[in-house]
């Protein structure tokens, strides 16, 4: 019998909230986290807006020495993991340490520390480069440090698949628990690269919105006037557990992870295939893995980045997979409020799908004033909607043509 996997904890640090509840309240209220960039002087840049985290204090979770040694994306992951474990009530000790794993990824990792140490190298010479530079910036240090801090000795790894990163982290963790490699895994993603180099790079690709004078309205998935995504930062971590393991300790069960799919476009380094091939196949693979029919799905938290091509292709793919049922689905993009958290986006949006099931509310797509004619699904425009969500999908698509999809649902009494 396949081991069933459930969600027992969530930890979020986002541009709209410093914890899970404040994030959820902001999303339901339709509040944008976008504003002028403050982390560097963006005055001469084509793009001067981002979704930054306001008020994050790493000293709540780490001492000053640890903070100096690690890049901000690691700080965020530690905070989110601690919150997820507290929510879950999972205690790690000698009796279970080898059965608890950590899989936390990042799409880009410690780029801020890389930039800072490169400047030190050029200005002060090689002897002044920090001995903590490499461990402080590498992507797997989120998983490594969380494992060290918690004592979790099970599978410890990090995914790196661009904007699909943390969806793959959760999917991999699902498979590890199903196969018996662990009974519980702390899984998710973290990203913090609102930096001169990152913003300049994405702007050169014309991937970012240039609506600098109206940042709160810049991220507008499926809208006729969308012109790119708004870069964001944050971390999202979940605790996944084998069902009976969770039941034995009386854990809060928020939802069941029903299925996971992966696909590759084999098409282009940054653009999706215009026929939606990769997105179609990954959603179909997820439904098959979960044993679901298209009609079983109530809600999709879409990738929905606010890019002209990406939004249209995702809509096309949903129509191909769901047929007439596509028009009965609620489909929303919380990136309209949080911006695009890159490697952390998938875990955040998976968490939103879990909360939609748990709370009976679907967050809206804000700024959707006039959809393109081909974008004609129910995108829950402007206002949140109370509805019974029994099954939800979360889509994540990344540069290089890497795709992930997760299915989550209410816990049923049957396998």
Active-site amino acid positions: 163, 303, 340
Closest CA to 355 of 126, 159, 87, 173: 87
Residue pair 229/335 in contact (Cβ under 8 Å)? The answer is yes
User: Interior CA angle at 305 toward 299 and 306, to 5°?
Assistant: 110
Contacts of 351 (CB under 8 A, 6+ apart): 10, 12, 20, 236, 238
What torsion, rounded to 10 degrees, do the Cα atoms 299, 305, 310, 314 define? 0
**Neighbouring residues of 98: CB distance < 8 A, sequence distance ≥ 6:** 153, 154
User: Where are the extended beta strands (E) located within 255-312?
Assistant: 255-264, 299-301
Q: Which residues contact 412 (CB under 8 A, 6 or more apart)?
A: 256
Residue 150 corresponds to which tokens in the numbers above? 């918690």
- What is 337-351 written as a DSSP string? HH-B-GGGHHHHHHH
CA R_g for the chain:
20
Rounded to 5 degrees, φ, ψ at 19 are -155, 180
Question: Is the Cβ–Cβ distance between 232 and 39 less than 8 Å?
Answer: no
**What distance in Å separates the CA atoms of residue 21 and residue 90, rounded to the nearest whole number?**
19
Distance from chain centroid for Cα 12: 10
Rounded CA separation 303/314 (Å): 8
Q: Show the beta-strand stretches assigned E in 265-401.
A: 299-301, 330-332, 361-362, 385-386, 391-398
Neighbour count for residue 318 (Cβ, 10 Å):
26
Spatial distance between the Cα atoms of 267 and 273, rounded to a whole number of angstroms:
6
């Amino acid at each position: 019998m396949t081991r069933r996997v459930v969600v027992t904890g969530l930890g979020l640090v986002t541009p709209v909230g410093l914890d899970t509840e404040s994030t959820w309240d902001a999303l339901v209220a339709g509040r944008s986290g976008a504003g002028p960039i403050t982390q560097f002087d963006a005055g001469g840049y084509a793009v001067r807006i981002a979704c930054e985290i306001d008020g994050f204090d790493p000293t709540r979770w780490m001492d000053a020495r640890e903070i100096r040694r690690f890049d901000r994306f690691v700080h965020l992951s530690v905070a989110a993991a601690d919150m997820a474990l507290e929510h879950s009530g999972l205690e790690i000790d000698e009796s279970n340490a080898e059965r608890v794993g950590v899989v936390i990824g990042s799409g880009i990792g410690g780029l801020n520390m890389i930039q800072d140490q490169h400047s030190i190298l050029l200005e002060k010479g090689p002897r002044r480069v920090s001995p903590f530079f490499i461990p402080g910036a590498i992507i797997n240090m989120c998983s490594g440090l969380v494992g060290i801090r918690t004592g979790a000795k099970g599978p410890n790894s990090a995914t790196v698949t661009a904007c699909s990163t943390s969806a793959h982290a959760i999917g991999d963790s699902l498979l590890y628990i199903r196969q018996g490699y662990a009974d519980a895994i702390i899984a998710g993603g973290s990203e913090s690269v609102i930096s001169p180099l990152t913003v300049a790079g994405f702007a050169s690709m014309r991937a970012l919105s240039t609506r600098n004078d109206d940042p709160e309205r810049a991220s507008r998935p499926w809208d006729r006037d969308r012109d790119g995504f708004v870069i964001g930062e944050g971390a999202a971590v979940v605790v996944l557990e084998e069902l009976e393991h969770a039941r034995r300790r009386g854990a809060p069960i928020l939802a069941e992870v029903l299925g996971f799919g992966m696909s590759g476009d084999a098409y282009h380094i940054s653009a999706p295939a215009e026929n939606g091939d990769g997105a179609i196949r990954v959603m179909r693979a997820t439904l098959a893995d979960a044993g679901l029919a298209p009609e079983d799905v109530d809600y999709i938290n879409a990738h929905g980045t606010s890019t002209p091509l990406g939004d249209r292709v995702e809509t096309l793919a949903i129509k191909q997979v769901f047929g007439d049922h596509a028009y009965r689905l609620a489909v929303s993009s919380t990136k309209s409020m949080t911006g695009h958290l890159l490697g952390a986006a998938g875990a955040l949006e998976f968490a939103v799908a879990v909360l939609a099931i748990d709370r009976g509310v679907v967050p809206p797509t804000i700024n959707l004033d006039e959809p393109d004619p081909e974008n004609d699904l129910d995108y829950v425009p402007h206002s949140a909607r109370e509805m019974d969500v029994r099954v939800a999908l979360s889509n994540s698509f990344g540069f290089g043509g890497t795709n992930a999809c997760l299915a989550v649902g209410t816990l049923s009494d049957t396998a």
